[in-house]
Structure 1
Amino acid sequence: MPDIQDPYRSYNFKIVIQGVVEGHFTQCSGLGVRVGVIRYREGGNGQVARALPGRVEYADVELKYGLTKSRELWDWLMAAVQGEVVRKNVSILMLDAQGTQEVMRWNLVNAWPSQWRGAVLDAMSQEAALEHLTLVFDTLERA
């Protein structure tokens, strides 16, 4: 009989930057890869368009996190703003249902922040203030 497993819960994850758990993130989205397609027709067979793999593009990853006094992510962003991009390896770790054991990992190699959005400030809200940081990276690995 096949071993049936429940899918992992999307709320059990953590972000590790250069080997250090950095803050508490409420959401990580956008993780993806796309292989472009180059279409061409061969001589003598004008009815069929063939396809070759083209350029690989990795989707930007957006992190949402609670606003705190920590300056680590802000300082990393400001280095890029000043033209001194600091590339870091970032890992997204999926955890088990108890939130204690790593079950899957995606590594963003040579990542750096390309965009930041501040928290929405609303006097009528009771929600946590969340900032958004967008990361770009060279390659993606699944470990």
Structure 2
Amino acid sequence: MATDNGSAEGSTWPMPKFRFEVDLGASMQKIAFQEVSGMDVEHQIIEYRNSNSPLFSTEKMPGIVKYGNVTMKRGVFVNDNTFWNWRTQISMNTVARQTVVIKLLDENGSITMQWQLLNAWPTKITSTDLKSDGNEVAVDTIEIAHEQLIITNGKSS
């Protein structure tokens, strides 16, 4: 957000989360999604008790990093099989891995925050539900597994 004199106030107000774009990698195009969730990271806990510790308890130390699957939802479009085509590239012990980039944009379309999912691949695709009495938009959901999450601020790729 800009002030009357044109200076940025990005550190004063939190960023709105409704303007973003997703790039599914070099072999696929940018796709408009209505929702992206699950960009989380967790350290497994290693409990260790030093043999000469005077405390009758364990120390908790950070262990292996675990990344959650990212879930993305988007509307279904005529003749657009992007998710399904990516999934068909999976066979026993081989998968077409991509670098997925999720970009949070400001009101000018500039990147304010970016999440990179390295070695990402589709682990689950859920097609829309169908109802004869419904009037909602058809929505596909893709769940993406990845091996690393890199967060950067204000950079473009």
Give the aligned length: 141
Distance, in Å, in 1 between the alignment partners of 2:119 and 2:95 is: 10
Distance, in Å, in 2 between the alignment partners of 1:117 and 1:77 is: 12
Percent identity reads 25
Contact 1:80 1:114 (8 Å CA) reproduced? no
Answering whether residue 7 of structure 2 is matched by residue 29 of structure 1, we say no
Distance, in Å, in 2 between the alignment partners of 1:3 and 1:78 is: 42
SS of residue in 1 equivalent to 2:128: coil
Amino acid of the structure 1 residue aligned with 2:132 = A
Change (3 A) 1:7 1:21: farther
Amino acid of the structure 2 residue aligned with 1:80 = I
In the alignment, which of 65, 85, 101 is matched to residue 95 of structure 2? 85
Change (3 A) 1:124 1:36: same
Q: Offset of 1:4 from its aligned partner? A: 5.1
Q: Which runs of 5+ in 1 are unaligned?
A: none
In the alignment, which of 109, 113, 116 is matched to residue 107 of structure 1? 116
Contact 1:105 1:142 (8 Å CA) reproduced? yes
Q: Offset of 1:82 from its aligned partner? A: 6.3
How does the TM-score come out when normalised to structure 2? 0.81
Distance, in Å, in 2 between the alignment partners of 1:4 and 1:23 is: 29
Distance, in Å, in 1 between the alignment partners of 2:147 and 2:110 is: 27
Answering whether residue 25 of structure 2 is matched by residue 18 of structure 1, we say yes
Contact 2:98 2:121 (8 Å CA) reproduced? yes
Aligned to 1:38: 46
Contact 2:24 2:31 (8 Å CA) reproduced? no
Distance, in Å, in 1 between the alignment partners of 2:48 and 2:33 is: 44
Q: Which runs of 5+ in 2 are unaligned?
A: 1-8, 153-157
How does the TM-score come out when normalised to structure 1? 0.89
Contact 1:40 1:50 (8 Å CA) reproduced? yes
Distance, in Å, in 2 between the alignment partners of 1:38 and 1:80 is: 34
Moved over 6 A (4+): none
